Amino acid sequence: MSDERERTTEELTARLAVLYIGISKVCEQLPVPITLPPASGTVGGLMGSIDRCYKIAPDQPIPAEQVAALQVACLFWLMAADMIGLYDAEAAGTTIRDEAAQAAMFHTEACISDLMHWLRDA
C-alpha cells in the first residue's frame, strides 16, 4: 500500500472512530440507554455493535423521526466502514470509495447532531 493510501485510510478510520463515539454518546442519553463497547480494536469489531444498535433502535420510546435518525446514522456509519474496508492497494477506484466513505460519514455526523439537539430539547 502506498504511503498516501495508508495515510488516507488512517484518516478515514480515525474519523469513523470519532463518529462511533458520537453514536455511543447519543445512545447513552436515550430514554432506554444503549451501551456500546468502547471504540477500541478494529473497525470490523465495532460493526456488530452498530448493527445491533440499528436493530434495537425501534424499541426506544422516542418519536419515529428520532428512531429513523439513529438508524440512518448507523447505516451510514456501516456504509463508510464497508467503503474503507474495500480498499485493495492494487484495485482501481479507491478515490471514489474515499469520497463515498466521506459522504457516508458526513450524513452520520448530521444525524448524530440532529439527535443531540433533540435530546437536549427533550
Mean pLDDT (10-residue bins), the chain, 122 residues: 80 92 97 93 84 96 97 94 69 72 93 96 90
The full set of domain ranges for the chain reads 3-121
pLDDT at position 44, please? 78
> Distance between CA atoms of 55 and 34, rounded to whole angstroms?
12
C-alpha cell at 13: 478510520
Residue-level pLDDT at 1: 54
Predicted local distance difference test score (pLDDT) of residue 100: 87
- CB-based contact 70:59 (threshold 8 Å): no
- Sort 75 into a burial class: Cβ within 10 Å, 0-12 / 13-18 / 19+: middle
Question: 121, 75, 118, 98: which is closest to 11 by C-alpha?
Answer: 98
Amino acid, single-letter form, for residue 66: Q
Sole residue written with cell 435518525: 69
